Amino acid sequence: MAKKPSLGRQKIKIAKIQIKNHLQVTFSKRRSGLFKKASELCTLCGVEIAIVVFSPAGKVFSFGHPKVESVIDRFLARNPNLNSTSGLHLVEAHRIASIPDLNMQLTYMLNELEAEKKRSETLDEMRKAGQSQFWWEAPIENLNLHELEQLKDSMEGLKRSVSIQANRLFAENSNAMSFFGTNNSTNGVDHYDIKPVAPMITSTSSSAAASHVHSYGYGHGLF
């Protein structure tokens, strides 16, 4: 799933973009970035803000805190006390009160994502190292017929071993379950807390990254 390398950061001239496709892509990205910056400004400094942006196609995007409409009203009326009835105040207050918690959730998610990305890089390095070290780990396209046949034999042997071991484990599990007289999957669920493949792979990643080995979407609170 390799990404096509982008052009990276380039200095561009601040003038209307000539190529329609580029213009649309730029709009999409920059509008997204703009809203992100606006959101951060609100979070960090607690200010009221409204941004209205028209797309090249004529659609309108808007960001506002606490609400686009209230900021617009405030601006147009130039009356700082132009907020609505106290009833709506309460609803608004509720909404705003949830924001710090949402930000914490977001931060958590972003940190997890960064950790997984680092792990991905580590795994890529391992793959690269393996490829240059052992001929059988090279991409299949690089192997000749003789090597391919050998590798195939090895793989088939591995497949046999895996099957045998799997059947053995399955039999053990069945015995265990019938011993406890239960047929539900509680035993199975316990397994999911164990780090499945971590012991076998030595990596130089940080403990934070390694600890994510277990979170394969099993019982993750926020999933």
Partner 1 sequence: MTRKKVKLAFIMNDSARKATFKKRKKGLMKKVNELSTLCGIDACAIIYSPYEAQPEVWPNNLGVQRVLAQFMRMPEMEQSKKMVNQESYIKQRITKAKEHLKKQIKENREKEMIEVMYQCLSGKGSIANLILPDLNELGGLVDQTIKDICRRIESLKKASAGKGVHAPPVLSQSPRPQAVVVGGNGSNATNEMMTRNVVDGVNAMGGMQKTQWSFADWMNNPSEQNMGLGGQGYEMAPFVDQNPNVIWPNHFFP
Residue nearer to partner 1 on the CB measure, 9 or 87: 9
Residue nearer to partner 1 on the CB measure, 23 or 90: 23
- In the complex, minimum distance from the CB of residue 181 to partner 1, in angstroms, rounded to a whole number: 21
Nearest to 50 by CA among 28, 31, 72: 72
- In the complex, minimum distance from the CB of residue 166 to partner 1, in angstroms, rounded to a whole number: 5
Residue nearer to partner 1 on the CB measure, 144 or 184: 144
* 14 backbone dihedrals φ, ψ, rounded to 5°: -85, 85
Across-strand partners of 65?
49
Residue nearer to partner 1 on the CB measure, 134 or 179: 134
- In the complex, minimum distance from the CB of residue 131 to partner 1, in angstroms, rounded to a whole number: 10
For CA atoms 213, 219, 220, 223, the dihedral sign is positive
Residues with Cβ within 8 Å of residue 140, at least 6 apart in sequence: 148
Residue nearer to partner 1 on the CB measure, 106 or 180: 106
* Distances from the Cα of 193 to the Cα of 170, 188, 216, 219, angstroms: 18, 10, 10, 9
- In the complex, minimum distance from the CB of residue 20 to partner 1, in angstroms, rounded to a whole number: 10
Calpha distance 105→111 (Å, rounded) = 10
